[in-house]
Amino acid sequence: MSRTQRLFSLMQLLRRHRYPVAGAALADSLGVSLRTLYRDIAVLQAQGAHIEGAPGLGYVLKPGFLLPPLMFSEEEIEAIVLGSRWVAKRTDGALADAATNALAKIAAVLPSDLRASLEASTLLIGPGDPLPPMIVDLTVIREAIRAERKLHLSYRDEAGRMSERVIWPFALGFFDRVRMIVAWCELRDGFRHFRADRIEAMTVTETRYPRGRRALLKTWRETTGRQ
């Protein structure tokens, strides 16, 4: 086990305990000597980790602290890289830029060995089918979801019929071929899914919908059996 991985494992051990843990127990879990454990604790404290305690008393990590350089295992880094590459290729421009920027920020704080793993990741995203053209801006839809604002849509269904809808958007699904808004539809008085490429016109209203988006998402999951 590398030193970086050992420090990461120590942080994970401390996060699992609400009360002080004896140094001997921590050392035993990591398979190191007490002297090495005390040295690792000192390194983490020097880097800003809020670890309280002392030899003979035990150690506890204060809640709410994340140490950026040690947050990720190699498998977690590969998952982040793969996810970021998918977002960069298969979403709108704003999210693609955000994914690229986030990956650069993560790389900047990783130790050199883990940074090398990130930069050398061989998990690739294959080419997908071209997405259908859209009139609406997905960034605007995401902002409406965050602000819990109603949307007024001019919507064309699969048969080409037009209708006017007022919806409460609370989720946005990204699939290989379509982008889907999950919402409560006032016209149908129920949950409905709207393809973003079938929206002919859209207005964000100033009206907040009466239920929070998290409550709507929870009810939708319970109703549809989705996770």
Q: What is the CATH number of the domain that holds 186?
A: 2.30.30
For the beta carbon of residue 93, count every other beta carbon within 10 angstroms.
11
Average pLDDT over residues 79-94: 87
Residues 59 and 82 in one domain: no
Question: Looking at residue 194, what is its pLDDT?
Answer: 97
Residues 48 and 82 in one domain: no
Question: Looking at residue 206, what is its pLDDT?
Answer: 96
Does residue 171 form part of some domain?
yes
Kindly tell me if the per-residue pLDDT of 67 is higher than 60: no
Residues 82 and 56 in one domain: no
Question: Looking at residue 225, what is its pLDDT?
Answer: 79
Residue 84 lies in domain? 74-119
Question: Looking at residue 64, what is its pLDDT?
Answer: 60
Q: Domain total for the chain?
A: 3
pLDDT, tens digit, for every residue of 182-226?
A: 999 999 999 999 999 999 999 999 999 999 999 999 999 999 877
DSSP H or E run through 92: none
Does residue 181 form part of some domain?
yes
Residues 157 and 213 in one domain: yes
Kindly tell me if the per-residue pLDDT of 66 is higher than 60: no
Question: Looking at residue 9, what is its pLDDT?
Answer: 84
Question: Looking at residue 93, what is its pLDDT?
Answer: 84
Does residue 45 form part of some domain?
yes
- Two structure tokens written together for 219: 């009810």
pLDDT, tens digit, for every residue of 13-60?
A: 888 887 899 999 999 999 999 999 999 999 888 877 888 988 888 999
Mean pLDDT of the chain: 88
Does residue 133 form part of some domain?
no
For the beta carbon of residue 166, count every other beta carbon within 10 angstroms.
17
| pLDDT-derived band at 6, boundaries 50, 70, 90 | confident
